[in-house]
Structure 1
Amino acid sequence: MTLTIAGNETGTPRSPWSGSAGAEELTRWKTAARQAAGGLATDALARDRANQDPYREVELLRRHGLVNLLVPREYGGEGAHWESALHVVRILAAADGSIAQLVAYHYINQATIAFYAAPARQADWFRRSAEGQWVWGGSVNPVDPTLELSVDGDGYRLNGLKRFSTGSSVGDVIIVNAAVTDGPHEGTVLAFVLERGREGLELLGDWDHLGQRLSASGSVRYNNVRVDAADILGEVGDEPFSTLVTPGIQLAFGNFYLGVAQGALAKGREILLGRKNAWILSSAESYAKDPVFQRTVGEFASRIAAVEALADVLNRRYDDAVAKGAGLTFEDRAELAVRTAELKVVSTEVGVEVANRIFEVTGSSSTSNQVGLDLFWRNIRTHSLHDPVDYKKIEVGASYLLGEVQPITLYT
């Protein structure tokens, strides 16, 4: 079987994105995200407890135009930039971490059209995705390499199990990464797209974790699933532009964790302002007027503001990087990856700490299951373990001290 690998063509622009988001665009999508977040916030705790696949939530995202946000206008999409998309992730995370994760993965999975597909094929993929308002799930977890992609005539057959397949149970399509196990392309890792109802594709619905319960992150089993040439986006290689997948998703994580911290602090402020009287040893009129609690809230707000400032810089810088397309160098990519790792470090630590210590200012009554303040902590504690933050610290330190660059992977 002959494959067309993305980037083999010469003289063809690789990236469908250019420029950066203006004030009007940012305002539009922040407003849409806040409206969607408002709808999610009304029953976030009840939906988390019900632990059902988020089909209604996906329809909410469609109604607000968020699904096609990054698809270029010429292909039927909204033509927005990554800075806008990352703000959407952040805003949704303050209301519902599960749906923020679902959206973040959708954006990066959908963007693999540009990162992996040959330029001549991108238009068709984008058009079909836009017309169908496809939500993109992913089955690419690289530390779970149990898939076998074997040659079958002019196509392949896929077998095996892939865990942590975020969005797969509600996605219209699922992007899969698998290495070819035989034939002339043996060892080549291919990215391909399967519709959720493809024969032999089994959704196990086995996500049973502390948090992120509505992220649709269960396992997928592939039982002799047919993969045709038309399903294949391209090869997963180490060409700089195509590997922007990793800084992109890590940047989305940073915005996600920031949003959770903002949401936890906002909920804590609401609870604190509602507390009557003050601690028995305090001379303040109320808890909110007590310097002890003001100090803690001030610390949280200040650290969140610092993370936000870094995230805002990097969100725009990512647009600059993707706009370079085939002109992106390894040096460009490495510099962006290290800066994104810096964000991952501080957003993780601030997010986990705020979501944990917010209880110090809200009191024992806020631990009631009816309050649901724990939802923020459960969500960020669960997802922040996606990849060890200590290795991000090492990545930053090795770069700072020695100028060393980590090998390109789906984590670095």
Structure 2
Amino acid sequence: MTVLTRRVPYTGAADQAELEHWRKIAAKAAHTLAADAPERDRRNEQPFAEAQLLREAGLLDLLVPAQFGGAGGHFETAFEAVRIIAAADGSIAQLLAYHYINQSGIAFYAPPEAQPFWWERSVAGGWLWGDSVNPVDPALQLVPEGDGFRLNGAKRFSTGSGVGEVIVVNAQVSSGPQAGQVLAFVLPRGREGLEIVDDWDYLGQRLSASNSLKYHNVRVEPQDILGPVTDEPVSTLLTPGIQLAFANFYLGIAEGALARGKSLILARPNSWFLSDVPTYSQDAVFQRTVGELKARTAAVAALAEKLGRKYDALLALAGEVTADQRAELAVQIAELKVVASETGVDVANRIFEATGSSSAASGVGLDLFWRNVRTHSLHDPVDYKKIEVGAYFLRGETQPLSLYT
């Protein structure tokens, strides 16, 4: 077994060959998903087939270090794959984005000597990683029992839990020597007492398997535990990573809406009766609308790519990451979250202005982009991200560490 000596195993940065390789793989998967995305969305079934598509493409192991059987890729690459998938199907992009963050809990929470056990099992089992960590839900009860624990309670918005082989859970120990400590641990989807409530029926992101979970006296074994959730700077980079993942699939949805809108505009016959050009695509009114949306999306893309590289660079410092470095990057990612959220929603909404009333027909599926980005952009209030940016810029103040900041 390979032994790790670093707090996190990520090193270096993505080169052009890595990026191009995974762009092609993600684009192929996106092409498959795009063929029937609106129909699958309407059926609102658990996305087992879609998860298998990601697995067969090798995307689930992109971030697993090469010495443990993975591709040894970088977060810049992973987030770009999420962005490409989002242009076709925002739900499945969310599933993949959360998988990358949940799986990376191995690096952020587990001690170096325990990580090979987790990485190798994930690859061997073809695991998709779901989660059950929503911090605004009522707290779970994690009660010591023998050498392990018993878990009771419930969590909503547990993305990937309906189809993931494993589910990451965060819970605070209620009593005993570890009382007050928050532990991150991993449960198989079929663990006795774990009830998956198939209640995810929302406006958008309908295939993200974001069900509620109920825990009925679930046994948590010592070998299920990744480690404690701490304020170590490199470990707390998990949260900026979550926000960076969000921004990338909002960006991808905007790019997908633009691409679909372009095809619809080019297919529109004739032009508005007051226009002096023969087609809508030649009309300056519609060109201006699309041009504005395209330019704003391109600006978000440039910032996302820059921060993807910066995130990898900071992770490569491992235990040498400082709280100040962590804070600076978190605020920069908050800036991206603000513009990605607002641009994604605006693009997916205003593209209808250029595609016309016929594009609102259910069979066209253009509404899927807006429904998806509108739903997930409510995950945490973007106004608080603006405050985070403003407080740091004006006074150098940072927000308290959490799963949101």
TM class, shorter-length: over 0.9
Shift in Å, 1:12: 3.5
Partner in structure 1 of residue 111 of structure 2: 118
- CA displacement 1:365-394 (0-9 Å, x = unmatched): 000000011000000000000000000000
- CA displacement 1:37-59 (0-9 Å, x = unmatched): 00000000000000000000011
Residue in structure 2 matching 1:310, options 294, 300, 303: 303
Q: Give distance in 1, aligned partners of 2:134 and 2:319.
A: 26
Partner in structure 1 of residue 40 of structure 2: 47
Matched, 1:89 2:78: no
Partner in structure 2 of residue 220 of structure 1: 213
- CA displacement 1:76-102 (0-9 Å, x = unmatched): 101111111000010000000000000
Q: Give distance in 2, aligned partners of 1:145 and 1:106.
A: 23
**Uncovered stretches (5+) of structure 1, i.e. residues with no partner:** 1-10
Where do 1:4-403 residues align within 5 Å? 12-403=5-396
Shift in Å, 1:62: 1.0
Shift in Å, 1:145: 3.2
Q: Give distance in 1, aligned partners of 2:391 and 2:333.
A: 14
TM-score when normalising by structure 2? 0.98
- CA displacement 1:64-83 (0-9 Å, x = unmatched): 11010000110010111111
Q: Supply the AA of the counterpart residue of 1:50.
A: R
Q: Give distance in 1, aligned partners of 2:155 and 2:296.
A: 37
Q: Give distance in 2, aligned partners of 1:124 and 1:145.
A: 31
Shift in Å, 1:212: 0.3
Q: Give distance in 2, aligned partners of 1:362 and 1:146.
A: 46
After superposing on structure 2, the runs of 4+ consecutive aligned residues of structure 1 that deviate more than 4 Å are none
Q: Give distance in 2, aligned partners of 1:297 and 1:408.
A: 39
Report percent identity of matched pairs. 63
Q: Give distance in 2, aligned partners of 1:307 and 1:145.
A: 35
- CA displacement 1:178-224 (0-9 Å, x = unmatched): 01111111111100000000000000010011000000001010000
Q: Give distance in 1, aligned partners of 2:133 and 2:139.
A: 11
Q: Give distance in 2, aligned partners of 1:51 and 1:256.
A: 20
Shift in Å, 1:153: 1.3
Secondary structure at the counterpart of residue 56 of structure 1: helix
Q: Give distance in 2, aligned partners of 1:145 and 1:173.
A: 22
Q: Give distance in 2, aligned partners of 1:73 and 1:12.
A: 15
Q: Give distance in 2, aligned partners of 1:247 and 1:28.
A: 26
Secondary structure at the counterpart of residue 84 of structure 1: helix
Q: Supply the AA of the counterpart residue of 2:140.
A: L
- CA displacement 1:246-290 (0-9 Å, x = unmatched): 000100011110000000011000000000000011111100000
Secondary structure at the counterpart of residue 370 of structure 1: coil
